[in-house]
Amino acid sequence: MDSVRSLIRRSLAPAVGAVLIVAAAGCADGDTPAAESQSPQETTAAAPRPDAITPLVGSVPFAPVPFAGSDGRTHMVYELAVTNFTGAPLTVDELKVLDDSTSAVLGELDAAALRDRMQPAGSRAGAEQLEPGQAATIFIHLILDGAADHTTLVHEVAVTGAAIPTERNRLTERIATTKVDERTLPVVSAPLRGERYIAADACCDAARHTRAVLPVNGRPFLAQRYAIDFEQADAQNRIFTGNPRDAAGYQIYGEEVLAVADGTVVGARSDLPEQTPGVYPAGIPIDEADGNFVVLDIGEGFFVNYAHMQPGSVRPKVGDRVTRGDVIGLVGNTGNSVAPHLHLHVMDGPSPLAAQGLPYLYDRFTLTGQVASTADFDASEGEGVPLVTVPGVDRAEHTDQLILDQNIVDFGS
């Protein structure tokens, strides 16, 4: 890495001087953005940016896909993979997501947010600094009030490190230009019938699913990017009553699981035993993590994964065709599960692990409440106390939206 550090020290200095001439007006003293170096009369929309050494390199492994959330806004959820390409520690001070054509700021992470959202490879804990050669994933969630009319994004990062030869060892650079994926999303029906279902650990900032990057077959995948763990409350807002180690005491246990679309079964299992609620099973093999499951190919490159169903309850077999609304199993507590629930996510391939998660829209649901926080949900699930909910949430009908984290919804009968 010493040779890399020398290259950066030799190469950055002249580039910095050129950039500062036109770009310093938008930066603090000592920042050096790697922006366009043309004079105003030379700048055009098609003009290429000059070459510049970038201490932090990055890419977007899987393009963001805009979707409508149950809050009525447009969301984009994706990851920025970065690597410190210097021979000294590098601190990421700030990140902005820009529209590449207009440079309009669409989202921004300050140092405190980055400490939570930047996770070094192999770690589920956040960090503010990358060691020499260290790679990390920055988890990004953009929320737009209007339609997603931004076709290309670019990322502007401010970094500080001893290998950066500026007055304050600080540089602002642009990395990871990426196209927005504007594919048509599937509109699915309810996976369950009934009332008071909680969308636990759902999109878009629930770490258990949205940040569950896994190294599979030599590549990182995030199949659970838009996953939901559906649980259910009773009329007193309790997830379970009685013995917390008895699966039958959980409100959702035994509910019928429904096909959300017409499709072909491409994966299924029904022979795994129930786990005891309250603790995650130890040493569970990777091929048993989803417990008893079904993977349904619904066409156009979309696959639905249902997990943790009761032993012997999975009805269809691989190769069977199912119709929207068909019963495919019963909610259980098999696999890597701490309490009875239905795990559901949509992905771009038939493997529940070696695939990329995709957003999907529910055709209709009734939003009836909102759990106050993940911690409040965990307390209810673990201790049997009633859910703490947000006051003043009006009952409302929703169509063609993704149910967001900790929403409480009815699906009807």
pLDDT, averaged in runs of 10, over the chain (413 residues): 36 28 29 37 55 91 97 97 96 96 95 95 91 97 85 96 90 96 97 98 95 94 98 97 96 98 98 96 94 98 98 98 98 97 98 97 98 97 96 96 98 85
pLDDT digits (tens, 9 = 90+) for 43-53: 445 567 778 78
Q: How far apart are CA 186 and CA 296, in angstroms?
A: 13
For the chain, give the percent of residues with pLDDT over 70. 88
**pLDDT attached to residue 393:** 95
pLDDT digits (tens, 9 = 90+) for 348-365: 999 999 999 999 999 999
Do 349 and 296 meet the contact criterion of CB atoms below 8 Å apart? no
Q: What is the 3-state secondary structure (H, E, C) of 336-366?
A: CCCCCEEEEEEECCCCCCCCCECCCEECCEE
**pLDDT attached to residue 412:** 83
Quote the pTM value.
0.87
Q: Map residue 306 onto helix, strand or coil.
A: strand
Q: How far apart are CA 173 and CA 250, in angstroms?
A: 51
| CA distances to 89, 93, 134, 354 from 266, in Å | 46, 45, 38, 14
CATH code of 187-410, in short, is 2.70.70.10
Nearest to 266 by CA among 322, 219, 183, 213: 322
**CATH 2.70.70.10 occupies which residues in the chain?**
187-410
Residue 272 has a CB neighbour count (10 Å cut-off) of 21
Q: How far apart are CA 65 and CA 353, in angstroms?
A: 19
Strands (E), 148-227: 152-161, 170-179, 187-188, 197-200, 214-216, 219-221
